[in-house]
Amino acid sequence: MPKKGRKLNKCDGQQEEVPVKQKKSSAASGPLCFDSPRDFFQSLISPMSVDEFFQQYWEQKPLVLHRSDAGLASYYRSLFQLSDLQQLCSHGLQYATDLNVCRSINGEKKVLNKGGQVKFSQLKKDFEQKKATIQFHQPQRFKDELWRVQERLECFFGSLVGSNVYITPEGSQGLPPHYDDVEVFILQLEGQKHWRLYKPTVHLAREYSLEQEEHIGTPTHDFLLQAGDLLYFPRGTIHQANTPSGVDHSTHLTLSTYQNMSWGDFMLDVFPSFMFDSMKTDDRLRCGLPRNLLTCPAYGPEINKQVCVFLRHLADNLEKENKELRCTDMKRDFISNRLPPYLLDQTDVEPSGKMPSLEDTVSIRFKEHLLLTVEHSQDNTDKATELVVFVLHSLKNKRETHMMGTSEEEDEQGSQFQGLRFPLTHLAALKQLFSLERVAVADLQQIQDEDKLGLTLGLWSEGLLRVC
């Protein structure tokens, strides 16, 4: 199952909340279009089209886009520079938690962290004298424009998007050849970086042993990136990068997504509830197991055969009856850990405008940051198996802890999800509100007038609905 508060490209170390200074003025769009998630992704991979990218490259093969656009290169440089680190060190950055200092030596990663709080003078010394790479974790916590970029990408992919900045001095390499279990986009921000990509030993790999460099074969791609260029490669792609001689230093940003977003992960999420529902109507699934089955040292072929019979029957019923599968854990993990809307202030989520009435037309606010789930009631009562609808949102998520994991105290307390709960009878009306731009309150489906008012008032009170 997806893990709450997981990191992409995680590091070891204690988690501490770092104060963030937020700007409250919207930055200029520059060469990227932020009008919609799709428009943004289209501008990010320009001149390639979105359809061509997903048909020919996504989860299939690397893509290298060399762009000789001075405006784009300037915008990329503004996202993060080596000079930004001096100011960021004043926020009380911690080694391992916020950044690593590392270098690839003889094919192995050597971590050169000092421990404790990061001092810029020591960081600069290690960078210049030890030729160490600075790996800065989740810079969107501090850089508003990266918050903006990653918020749009999370809306586009419907998946968490993490990031790291890698700053590597001349003639040095930070990491040995390695692979990641995420889809990776590389933005070259400063200088030049030499990249080598190798064919993965397992398609869409998650787990396999990476041998030494001399055994991983001939590179499938060997190229130089400069400011404004973009590189994409699928998860499982073995890769390495270094700053060539003659280049003062190189800075690139990794944008990583689609961790634990496979069909297998989805089936692990939806299958338990589907099986539970099937047991209610299929008495064969409620028949007792053979005597002493659990104490057997091994199960014979007849047990495998019986399980196959059940699975085929379940698949036939799912296809024939077109039952709606319920995805819960993956949705909750995403909505509770994603970024809040860009530059959102808490005053923005207060009830907007007049209170809704039956005569009004209404629309959902922050639709890209809301999710519907159907699941069992979480009340500790006899009705705990009753199905209810949850409207979950990310409006109060903390940007400063995005993709930084959770503390032991938070894990013990359990997840606290922001949103509202409604009876299952309200599902059709909620789907109506989520699918249409505007809906007349009186036209909400399958509920009485009193429930229509209760539903819209609940959403309005949470700041999720406005009267048009």
pLDDT of residue 17: 40
Average pLDDT over residues 284-290: 94
The pLDDT value given to residue 159: 98
What letter does residue 365 receive in the DSSP assignment? S
Q: For residue range 6-51, what is the model confidence (pLDDT) as tens digits?
A: 544 433 333 344 444 333 334 445 799 999 999 999 999 999 999 9
What pLDDT does residue 455 have? 98
Which pLDDT score, from 0 to 100, does residue 25 have?
Answer: 37
pLDDT at 405: 85
pLDDT band of residue 125 (cuts 50, 70, 90) is: very high
pLDDT over 70, % of the chain:
87
When mean pLDDT is compared over 157-161, 177-181, 396-400, the highest value belongs to 157-161
- Among 279, 276, 204, 195, smallest CA distance to 242 is for 195
pLDDT of residue 21: 39
Confidence check: pLDDT of 278 > 70: yes
Can you give the pLDDT at residue 407? 58
Q: Which domains does the chain have, with CATH numbers?
A: 37-257 (2.60.120.650), 263-321 (1.10.10.1500), 329-467 (3.90.930.40)
Q: What is the mean pLDDT of the segment spanning 216-223?
A: 87
pLDDT at residue 205 tops 80: no
Instruction: Look at the alpha carbons of 18, 21, 25, 30 in this order and tell me if their dihedral is positive or negative.
Output: negative
Tokens encoding 372: 């519907």
Residue 364, SS3 per DSSP:
strand
